[in-house]
Every structure is written in C-alpha cells, then in structure tokens.
Structure 1
Amino acid sequence: MERSFFPTVYQFRSPLSRALPIETIEDGQRMFKIEIDLPDFKPEDVNVTVKKGEVKIDAKCEITEGSSKQFKQISYSYSLPEDADLDRVRSLLKTDGRLVIEAPLPAIEAAKENREIPIKRE
C-alpha cells in the first residue's frame, strides 16, 4: 500500500482571500464580477463604494472569544471596466461569508453565425 505525504485534497485558503475579477454572463446579461471571502464579517461591517470607475471595499470587525479580542480590517480596490454601468453596481454578502460585487456590462453584438456568403462566378 502506497502512502502519500500530501493529502489527496489539499486546499489552502487565506481567511480573507479574494479572487480575480471575472467577466461572466448571467441570464443573458454580461457582468463584471468580484468575489471576496469575508468570514466573520456582517453586512454592517462592510462598506462598498463606487467612485470614478473604481469599486472600493473596506471592512472592519471585532471578534470576542472568551477574554480575547481579535480585530480584522481589510481594504481592497478594483478598477471597473470603462463600459460598466456604475449606477447599477450591486453587492451582496452571502451567508457563507462571500462578498459578491457585480457591475452590468453592455451586451456584445451577436456574431452573425449563420450568414450566407455569396458565391462569385468567373
């Protein structure tokens, strides 16, 4: 029987990890999306602002366990795409601790996939 030094599933996540922004399509709408893990934070601990094409996330919380206190504070800033609809940027702190920020993007003109090509005769 062969034994491996490393477990078969190894996952390292910082308690405050963040993912790279992505562009996605949800329900036919293009979106610029940011997801950040914010365990231990409540919605009132998090402040998300949009100004001059940039989204800024600031969060602070205090965790008390017995006689000890722990303070957490983060600050992230992301540039939004030039064509993002800044008036419709929204944020949601999910129950699993993920902060999701979405900015709608304009639709891409559908490519003409089935267009006919004329045949020239000589």
Structure 2
Amino acid sequence: MSKKEHQFNEIVRKVRKDLFGKGPDFIKTIFADNMAITTLKGNLTPVEKFIKQSPEGYEQIHRARTKMIQEYYKQNKPEELEEIVGSNLLNLFSDINIEEDIAISVFVFEKPIRGDYNPTAE
C-alpha cells in the first residue's frame, strides 16, 4: 500500500467513525484515473447488527450508510482528501451490502490521481 493510499484510508476511516461511532475493520483504496475506489468491510455497529433484523431497520441502516455519507461530503468539503490526491472532489457514489457488511465508495475527482495504479497521471 502506498503512503497516499494509507493517508486516504485513514481520513475515510476517521469520517466513518465520527459519523457512525465505528470505523471499518478493513479498508482498501485503489486509484484509477480520476477515481479513488474504497472498499470497507466490518462497518456495522453492534446496534446496527441488531436493528437490521427487521425490514424497517434494514432499510434505515442502508439509507443512513449511503445517503448520510454522501450528504456529509457535500456539506463538508474534504480538503484533506483533495490535498492527498491533488484534485477537487466532484462526486461520491456509495453503497453498502448490509448482509455482508461490505461497502464501496467511489470518489470522483476533477483530475487523474497519481498513484501506484496510475503512475503517469499528471
């Protein structure tokens, strides 16, 4: 893992922990063109694991874990992430599979990101 990926992961982990009370157990980010694709495993809190047992609870958790994170990044400019990748964030796409407790976030930036997977980006 590159230093840039590690720094990116730590910021994403901190945001999730601050918002939901628990950060992911595992996080991995790869850079591809102008995107940072982040996989997060072990996201749910013990309370969420209990709540997901009902259909209403399942939907509530899914909505919170997708819409809430997207709204957070819209309202709070992710300057630290932008500094790391050297570009402005344009969009964030996020989803979570509640049953498997795995989430994916795709951060779309203005310019290609220099990194292990995209060493020629400018």
Return the TM-score normalized by structure 1.
0.40
Which structure: greater helix fraction?
Answer: 2
- The structure that has the greater radius of gyration is 1
